[in-house]
Structure 1
Amino acid sequence: MIAHVAVFTFDSEMTEERAGALAEELRAMAASLPSIKRYAAGPNLRMRPGGADFAVIALVEDQAGIDAYLDSPDHVDLVAKSIAPFLVQRQAVQLEVPEDWAPLWAEGQP
């Protein structure tokens, strides 16, 4: 299993309301893509100083899952419409998820 983690820094035009709407849009888009096993998106909770404004975590099976997600027309359109106009910086990593995390993506689990 692979985790794709992306963090975003936005300009001041990305209000709390827009960030909330973006999180909802991203979750709806992710729910429509079979390659995504688990997904989380939302604004930084600001529990510690610094950091990015917004993050996304997508769990997929493999490289093909990453490609299916990031190259999907729905994802490309959403990024162009709801992220790019406000984007200052984006960083992303993909990392292998330990096998003992399997319950996180088991069928029937939230």
Structure 2
Amino acid sequence: MIRHVSLLTFAEGTTDAQVRAIGDALATLPDRIPELRAYAFGPDLAIDAGNATFAVVADVATVDDYVAYRDNPEHQRVIAELIRPVVVARTAVQYEIET
């Protein structure tokens, strides 16, 4: 099993409505991308200073499934239309997990 973790930092001035729109759009992806085994995301709780402002965690069975998720047109649309306009930093990692 492969786990993908993406941490996003949004620009100052990003509105709650923009963050909600991102979450609403991401929530549609599990029904549209059959390769997703588990999918979780949400804004940082702002408990610690310096954190990213949003996290996305996706579990898939194989590297090919990750590539299918990564390149899925609906996923790419969400990134292009909703995330890219407000993100100032992104970091990600993919790693194997035991099932």
- Matched with 1:22 is 22
Residues 49 and 13 (structure 1), Cα distance of their counterparts in 2 relative to 1, 3 Å cut: closer
**1:61 maps onto 2:61 in alignment:** yes
Equivalent runs, 1:1-110 vs 2, <5 Å? 1-99=1-99
Deviations 1:19-54 (A, max 9, x none): 122112111123211000110111111222221010
How many pairs were matched up? Answer: 99
CA contact (8 A) 2:70 2:76 kept: yes
Question: Could you say which structure has the greater relative contact order, defined with CA pairs below 8 angstroms and 6 or more residues apart?
Answer: 2
Taking structure 1 as the reference length, the TM-score comes to 0.84
Structure 1 unmatched runs, 5+: 100-110
CA contact (8 A) 2:21 2:82 kept: no
CA contact (8 A) 2:38 2:58 kept: yes
Taking structure 2 as the reference length, the TM-score comes to 0.92
The structure richer in helix per residue is 1
